[in-house]
Amino acid sequence: MGINLALHVLSVMVWVGGMFFAYMFLRPAAASELEPPIRLRLWRTVFSRFFPWVWAAIILVPLTGIMLTAPWQGFTNAPLYIHIMTTLGSIMILIFLHVFFAPFKRIKRCLDEDDIPGAAQQLNTIRKLVGINTLIGVITIAVATAGKFYL
């Protein structure tokens, strides 16, 4: 149980912390300092390095999460905050899968073809979706930690 909880929270740290850093700090800094072609290539490299870690997180978070429901013998008897965490976590995973297989795939193709406006459009979509996932991630952490006292 201890190892499961540590892996669960460490995976959440890498995923949500990574998105928070990218969205809140790297995005405005890159937007003010770099011209579009370089900025777009930077983001492609950043995502290529970050997304393998997110893949590990989207496997580990639900796997360890399901094992952590053992005290309630599964989901049926689990308290409300666990159900909210599971629902929000599933939405986050679906959003990431969409980002990975749609705009991220397209941004790579656009940059290979030197289509800078096309790549900018894809980055705009990724920005919005990562913003949404960061917000859901922060809410989920709040529910997961404070939830046991209130829900």
Alpha-carbon distance of 47 to 62, in angstroms, equals 22
Find the shortest distance in angstroms from Cβ 67 to ligand HEM.
Answer: 8
Binding mask 76-105 for ligand HEM (x = CB under 6 A): ------x--xx--xx-x-------------
68 binds ligand HEM (CB under 6 A): yes
Which residue in 48, 77, 124, 145 binds ligand HEM (CB under 6 A)? Answer: 145
134 binds ligand HEM (CB under 6 A): no
Find the shortest distance in angstroms from Cβ 63 to ligand HEM.
Answer: 9
Binding mask 7-36 for ligand HEM (x = CB under 6 A): -xx--x---x--------------------
Q: What is the DSSP string of 77-136?
A: T--HHHHHHHHHHHHHHHHHHHHHHTHHHHHHHHHHTT-HHHHHHHHHHHHHHHHHHHHH
Q: Are 40 and 113 in contact (CB under 8 A)?
A: no
For 60, half-sphere exposure in the C-beta direction (CA atoms, 13 angstrom radius) is 19
Residues that bind ligand HEM (CB under 6 A): 8-9, 12, 16, 61-62, 65-66, 68-69, 82, 85-86, 89-90, 92, 137, 140-141, 144-145, 148
